[in-house]
Amino acid sequence: MDQRSSPRFRRRAEMQLGIVGAGRMGANIARRLLRAGHEVVIYDSDSAAVTELETEGAVAAASLQDVVSGLDQPRAVWVMVPAAVTGAVVEEVAAMMDVDDVVIDGGNSHFRESALRADTLAERGIHYLDVGTSGGVHGLDRGYCLMVGGDETAVKRVTPIFEALAPGVDAAARTLTAEGAPTAAEQGYLHCGPAGAGHFVKMVHNGIEYGQMAALAEGLAILRGANVGAARRDDDAETAPLAAAGAYRYDLDVAEITEVWRRGSVIGSWLLDLTASALRTDPELSRYSGHVSDSGEGRWVVQAAVDEGVPAHVLTAALYERFSSRGEGEYGNKALSAMRHAFGGHHEKVTTR
Amino acid sequence: MDQRSSPRFRRRAEMQLGIVGAGRMGANIARRLLRAGHEVVIYDSDSAAVTELETEGAVAAASLQDVVSGLDQPRAVWVMVPAAVTGAVVEEVAAMMDVDDVVIDGGNSHFRESALRADTLAERGIHYLDVGTSGGVHGLDRGYCLMVGGDETAVKRVTPIFEALAPGVDAAARTLTAEGAPTAAEQGYLHCGPAGAGHFVKMVHNGIEYGQMAALAEGLAILRGANVGAARRDDDAETAPLAAAGAYRYDLDVAEITEVWRRGSVIGSWLLDLTASALRTDPELSRYSGHVSDSGEGRWVVQAAVDEGVPAHVLTAALYERFSSRGEGEYGNKALSAMRHAFGGHHEKVTTR
Amino acid sequence: MDQRSSPRFRRRAEMQLGIVGAGRMGANIARRLLRAGHEVVIYDSDSAAVTELETEGAVAAASLQDVVSGLDQPRAVWVMVPAAVTGAVVEEVAAMMDVDDVVIDGGNSHFRESALRADTLAERGIHYLDVGTSGGVHGLDRGYCLMVGGDETAVKRVTPIFEALAPGVDAAARTLTAEGAPTAAEQGYLHCGPAGAGHFVKMVHNGIEYGQMAALAEGLAILRGANVGAARRDDDAETAPLAAAGAYRYDLDVAEITEVWRRGSVIGSWLLDLTASALRTDPELSRYSGHVSDSGEGRWVVQAAVDEGVPAHVLTAALYERFSSRGEGEYGNKALSAMRHAFGGHHEKVTTR
Amino acid sequence: MDQRSSPRFRRRAEMQLGIVGAGRMGANIARRLLRAGHEVVIYDSDSAAVTELETEGAVAAASLQDVVSGLDQPRAVWVMVPAAVTGAVVEEVAAMMDVDDVVIDGGNSHFRESALRADTLAERGIHYLDVGTSGGVHGLDRGYCLMVGGDETAVKRVTPIFEALAPGVDAAARTLTAEGAPTAAEQGYLHCGPAGAGHFVKMVHNGIEYGQMAALAEGLAILRGANVGAARRDDDAETAPLAAAGAYRYDLDVAEITEVWRRGSVIGSWLLDLTASALRTDPELSRYSGHVSDSGEGRWVVQAAVDEGVPAHVLTAALYERFSSRGEGEYGNKALSAMRHAFGGHHEKVTTR
Chains A, D: CB contacts within 8 A come to: 258
Q: Which residue in A85, A88, A168, A156 sits closest to A127, CA to CA? A: A156
Q: Which residue in B279, B276, B265, C339 sits closest to A175, CA to CA? A: B276
- Of B184-193, C179-188, D7-16, the poorest mean pLDDT is in D7-16
pLDDT of residue D234: 58
Cα angle: D219, vertex D224, D227; to 5 degrees: 130
Phi and psi angles of residue B42, each rounded to the nearest 5 degrees, phi first? -125, 145
Q: Which residue in A133, D211, A324, A146 sits closest to C305, CA to CA? A: A324
pLDDT of residue C83: 87
Neighbours of chain C (3+ CB pairs under 8 A): A, B, D
- CB distance D133 to D25 below 8 Å: yes
* Average pLDDT of chain C, as a whole number: 92
What residues have CB less than 8 Å from A10, skipping those under 6 apart? none
pLDDT of residue A178: 81
What residues have CB less than 8 Å from D198, skipping those under 6 apart? D111, D114, D129, D130, D131, D132, D146, D147, D148, D149, D150, D192
Percent pLDDT > 70 in chain B is 92
Catalytic annotation, pick one of D113, D209, D259, D321: D209
**Does residue D2 carry a pLDDT above 60?**
no
pLDDT of residue B351: 46
Q: What is the pLDDT of residues B287-309, one digit of tens each?
A: 999 999 998 999 999 999 999 99
pLDDT of residue B12: 44
**Does residue D117 carry a pLDDT above 80?**
yes
- The larger pLDDT score, comparing residue C3 to residue D224, is at D224
Confidence bin at A161 (pLDDT 50/70/90)? very high
- Of A253-262, B64-73, B225-234, the poorest mean pLDDT is in B225-234
pLDDT of residue A241: 60
Contact between chains at C350 and B240 (C-beta distance less than 8 A): no
pLDDT of residue D236: 56
What residues have CB less than 8 Å from D31, skipping those under 6 apart? D53, D56, D140
Which amino acid is it at C84? A
Q: What average pLDDT does the segment A98-124 reach?
A: 96
Contact between chains at B247 and A166 (C-beta distance less than 8 A): no
> What ipTM does the predicted assembly reach?
0.93
**Does residue A245 carry a pLDDT above 90?**
no
Contact between chains at D323 and B303 (C-beta distance less than 8 A): no
Q: What average pLDDT does the segment B306-335 reach?
A: 97
The helix, strand and coil proportions of chain A, stated in percent and rounded to the nearest 5, come to 55, 10, 35
- Residues of B carrying an active site annotation: 202, 209
pLDDT of residue A9: 40
Measured between beta carbons, the chain D residues lying within 8 angstroms of B313 are 316-317, 320
pLDDT of residue A345: 87
Which residues make beta-bridge pairs with D102?
D76, D127
**Angstrom distance (rounded) from CA B340 to CA B326:** 24
Of B267, B308, B317, the CB nearest to A208: B267
Confidence bin at A308 (pLDDT 50/70/90)? very high
Q: What is the pLDDT of residues B184-196, one digit of tens each?
A: 999 999 999 999 9
Confidence bin at C243 (pLDDT 50/70/90)? low
Confidence bin at B352 (pLDDT 50/70/90)? very low
Contact between chains at B214 and A219 (C-beta distance less than 8 A): no
Terminal CA-CA length for chain D: 56
**Angstrom distance (rounded) from CA C222 to CA C316:** 20
- Mutate: best of B175, B203, B313, partner D, most D CBs <10 A: B313
- For residue B327, the distance in angstroms to the closest alpha carbon of chain A comes to 15
Q: Which residue in B75, B92, B77, B100 sits closest to B151, CA to CA? A: B100
Which residue stretches of chain B are H helix?
Answer: 7-13, 24-35, 47-55, 64-69, 83-95, 111-123, 139-142, 152-165, 184-187, 197-224, 254-261, 270-281, 296-308, 313-325, 330-344
Contact between chains at D236 and A84 (C-beta distance less than 8 A): yes
3-state secondary structure of C79: strand
3-state secondary structure of D109: coil
**Angstrom distance (rounded) from CA C352 to CA B147:** 34
CA dist D271 to B32, B166, C263, D258, Å?
61, 56, 13, 10
Q: Which residue in B193, B180, D340, B208 sits closest to A278, CA to CA? A: D340
- The larger pLDDT score, comparing residue C345 to residue A338, is at A338
Contact between chains at D177 and C266 (C-beta distance less than 8 A): no
pLDDT of residue D177: 79
Catalytic (active site) residue C348: no
Of B243, B266, B301, the CB nearest to A134: B266
* Average pLDDT of chain A, as a whole number: 92
pLDDT of residue A177: 78
pLDDT of residue D327: 95
Q: What average pLDDT does the segment B86-99 reach?
A: 97
**Does residue C8 carry a pLDDT above 60?**
no
Q: Tell me how crowded residue D95 is: count the other CB atoms within 10 A of its CB.
A: 13
**Does residue C7 carry a pLDDT above 90?**
no
pLDDT of residue B343: 92
What residues have CB less than 8 Å from A3, skipping those under 6 apart? A9, A163, A181, A187
DSSP letter for C133, please.
E
Q: What is the pLDDT of residues D24-51, one digit of tens each?
A: 899 999 999 999 999 999 999 999 999 9
Tell me if the pTM is above 0.90: yes
Contact between chains at D282 and A338 (C-beta distance less than 8 A): yes
- Mutate: best of A110, A306, A315, partner C, most C CBs <10 A: A306
Query: Which residue in A has a C-alpha nearest to residue D334's C-alpha?
Result: A290
**What burial class does residue B286 get, using C-beta atoms within 10 Å of its C-beta: 0-12 exposed, 13-18 middle, 19+ buried?**
exposed
Q: Which residue in A252, A225, A137, A153 sits closest to A194, CA to CA? A: A153
**Does residue A232 carry a pLDDT above 80?**
no
Confidence bin at D231 (pLDDT 50/70/90)? confident
Contact between chains at B328 and D321 (C-beta distance less than 8 A): no
**Angstrom distance (rounded) from CA A36 to CA A54:** 16
- For residue C220, the distance in angstroms to the closest alpha carbon of chain D comes to 8
pLDDT of residue C58: 97
Catalytic (active site) residue C202: yes
Q: What average pLDDT does the segment A16-21 reach?
A: 98
**Does residue A351 carry a pLDDT above 50?**
no
One-letter-per-residue 3-state SS of B176-230: CCCCCCCCHHHHCEEEEECCCHHHHHHHHHHHHHHHHHHHHHHHHHHHHHHHHHH
**Does residue D60 carry a pLDDT above 60?**
yes
Q: Quote the crossing angle between the two packed helices B197-224 and A296-308, to the nearest 10°.
A: 70
- Mutate: best of B112, B163, B208, partner A, most A CBs <10 A: B208
Q: Write the DSSP assignment of B219-265 as a string of letters.
A: HHHHHHGGGGGGS----STTSPPPTTGGG------HHHHHHHHTTTS
**Angstrom distance (rounded) from CA A257 to CA B189:** 9
- For residue C65, the distance in angstroms to the closest alpha carbon of chain A comes to 35
Which residues make beta-bridge pairs with D39?
D16
pLDDT of residue B234: 58
pLDDT of residue C350: 56
